[in-house]
Structure 1
Amino acid sequence: MMCSGADAVATGHYARTSLEDEEVFQQKHIRRPEGLFRNRFEVRNVVKLLQAADSFKDQTFFLSQVSQDALRRTLFPLGGLTKDFVKKIAAENRLHHVLQKKESMGICFVGKRNFENFILQYLQPRPGKFISIEDNKVLGTHKGWFLYTLGQRAKIGGLREPWYVVEKDGTKGDVFVAPRTDHPALYRDLLRTNRVHWIAEEPPAALVRDKMMECHFRFRHQMALVPCVLTLNQDGTVWVTAVRAVRALAPGQFAVFYKGEECLGSGKILRLGPSAYILQKGKSKSRVAVEGPIDSPSDGPGLGPVV
């Protein structure tokens, strides 16, 4: 930015910062003095990334890896406005192309095309099997495990009922599926990230002091924030324990952390804890081991649990 001669950049993201921008816009009719922003940026007060006034359009999720230097030189003129109000401004100024523009959804650079065909233009097919997570039965075949994400419905030829991706084995190429969208194999409450990028504090003082911190996180844009507890590791990674199991966590996604209206930063998900299904199976096995088989001929009436 400095190489271009600009003091700052304004972007259309729906987000805010802890810097006040009113004085900048108040001077729009005044000849701009040399280095309008310079004094503000030389003051090394920490700049926080804050959620937008329009919670539905908030885009701090996508800005969670922004550097402190970049953030203090960025203006978000839409951050305090709702999308409806922005459209009203566009209508008053006859910017009809803005009003007619559809909301961008999905992967914008892919556009309206078959995602599988798009990926296979760049990656060679790696055929593998769809396997039931419940009984290891082979249900069908696919062209590559990388074409699927956890929680996605798997289109398996010959099967009418829906099956959903719950695990992937990149080494063998197998994709494990479950028969319901709310199957416990899709739910986990524990994950570990890589070294977290903290926007304002590196890391937050409360986390350094207590080694644990309550906050919220999300791993998809617009999903409801989930209360969690962070546990700081010596290498800067964190364990994230959600207060309730969440659906379709996946390695490679980013866990983005929030405290109130502030976006604290984010880390890439590297590892997942066991699913609710695995935990349930473990409890069932433990219960069988403690109680013994039902109606076992070797157990006489009145005998206590077999340990």
Structure 2
Amino acid sequence: MARVVIGLSGGVDSSVAAYLLQQQGHEVVGLFMVNWHDTTGTLEGDCPWHDDRLFAELVARRLDIPLHVVDLSEHYRRRVVEYMFAEYERGRTPNPDVLCNREIKFDVFLKEALKLGADYVATGHYCRKREEPTADGRTAYRLLAGSDPGKDQSYFLCQLSQEQLRYALFPVGEMLKTEVRRIAQEQQLATARRKDSQGICFVGKVDLPLFLQQRLAARTGNVHEIKAAWPRYARTAPETATETASAATPAAAPETASAPAQAAAPPQPGDQPSTERLAALAAPWRYTVRDGKKIGTHSGAHFYTVGQRKGLGIGGRRESLFVLATDVQENVIYVGEGDAHPGLWRPALRIDPAEVHWIDPSEAMREGESRRYAVRIRYRQPLQQATLYRRREGLFILFDTPQRGIAAGQFAAWYDGEVLAGSGTIAE
């Protein structure tokens, strides 16, 4: 059997993963990462990782496996947190958990595990890996959704490479969360009843504006309301690449895979809309202060994201206000009333050429090619049916049903059945 280094995080999933590996006969070594020391903006505990380390030690002792500790905080600060600050400063919405997996857990951590003689590295992620021989004699590594539909975490691993997957093991990927809890209780693991971690990877739950103020200064600006009757929403076709969805965009569309009655018909096989048309459909709504009325103030446009409801501090409405767009240059937030507001919905998005990532590069789309995939633009979003178009300007994703709250900086991930085929950062 193999020597497997597992990232013991102090949570129940990695604890049970370690136990399962041990039961399979592997030589299991625990490795605990310290990735963040600063508690500025955190909502729970002075030093949350201290508690995590204690639980990891208790589990290692119970399973009688060695536990090593490595401080990766400088790598984490430089490769994840600095990226996060830079993205928010640009008015984009990053996903630090995806970056943490690509840059830390399956890169820096992997290298530390190899120093300990690891044949494989294991984590407690709810996803699966499959190995397939290819016609050219190599082995292709497939990333599959976890068996528990309520806990599938494959989205967070959407940026992994073939080399990273080669070393990866996901022992709980075939299991339901309830099974994991049951095993933890039966084996009397200290983490059996511990709550799942929340918030930013290795930082925890934070007051985001307060956390970001470590680098981004608060700056008072205006909140402008855009009415649902804004004339440009009613146009039947965009006139420029800065205007988007046609009148086929519904006033409300549930975030499910079933298309509402007003949704545009899905593309037919062989359909090849012009690049100009795709660019227009993928472009975000653009507003100026003349398009809406000032209804309040805020503390900094870079603290808000498209689709956000909480934190606006403006009441007295029949329905909640939602962020439609932010302008960090002018420090203005544009909002609309109700989650059926047309400004929240878009039929398409674009990914810059350099940001398109394929789990297996041999499956990459060629320029001019189109394919059907199921896509999600955020964790736990039900998969959405879409057509992907590869053009010189990038990868366009045209959804069968317009999507709510598409935010620049987030990751779109596309699936072929249960296999996660690729992903990319949403351009705008």
What is the TM-score when the length of structure 1 is the normalising length? 0.74
- The one-letter amino acid of 1:160's match is G
Write out aligned runs for 1:25-44 (5 A). 44=138
Write out aligned runs for 1:115-194 (5 A). 115-134=208-227, 135-153=291-309, 155-157=311-313, 159-161=315-317, 162-194=320-352
The Cα of 1:181 is off from its aligned counterpart by 1.8
For 1:31, the equivalent position in structure 2 comes to none
Pairs aligned (count): 245
For 2:379, the equivalent position in structure 1 comes to 221
Q: State percent identity of aligned pairs.
A: 38
The Cα of 1:117 is off from its aligned counterpart by 1.9
Report SS of the residue matched to 1:18: strand
Write out aligned runs for 1:1-307 (5 A). 1=111, 2-19=114-131, 44-95=138-189, 97-134=190-227, 135-153=291-309, 155-157=311-313, 159-161=315-317, 162-194=320-352, 195-204=355-364, 207-208=365-366, 211-234=369-392, 237-271=394-428
Report SS of the residue matched to 2:403: strand
The Cα of 1:76 is off from its aligned counterpart by 0.9
Higher Rg: 1
- The one-letter amino acid of 2:292's match is N
The Cα of 1:14 is off from its aligned counterpart by 0.9
Report SS of the residue matched to 2:159: coil
The 2-side partners of 1:154 and 1:238 are apart by 32
Kindly report the root-mean-square deviation, in angstroms, between the aligned alpha carbons of the 2 structures.
2.0
The 1-side partners of 2:409 and 2:385 are apart by 21
The Cα of 1:170 is off from its aligned counterpart by 1.6
1:123-174 Cα offsets, whole Å, 9 max, x none, are: 1112211011225101111110111111111544563222110011121111
- The one-letter amino acid of 1:215's match is Y
CA contact (8 A) 2:129 2:143 kept: yes
The 1-side partners of 2:148 and 2:424 are apart by 24
Question: Which protein is richer in helix relative to its size?
Answer: 2
What is the TM-score when the length of structure 2 is the normalising length? 0.54
Q: 1:127 to 1:203 in 2, by over 3 A?
A: farther
Q: Which runs of 4+ in 1 moved over 4 A?
A: 154-158
The Cα of 1:44 is off from its aligned counterpart by 2.5
The 1-side partners of 2:160 and 2:205 are apart by 29
The Cα of 1:118 is off from its aligned counterpart by 2.0
CA contact (8 A) 2:223 2:335 kept: yes
CA contact (8 A) 2:131 2:140 kept: no
1:199-246 Cα offsets, whole Å, 9 max, x none, are: 023444xx43970000011111111001000001236x3000010111
The 2-side partners of 1:158 and 1:253 are apart by 26
The 1-side partners of 2:160 and 2:310 are apart by 35
The answer for unaligned runs of 5 or more in structure 1 is 21-42, 272-307
Q: 1:210 to 1:122 in 2, by over 3 A?
A: closer
The 2-side partners of 1:177 and 1:51 are apart by 35
- The one-letter amino acid of 1:251's match is A
- The one-letter amino acid of 1:15's match is C
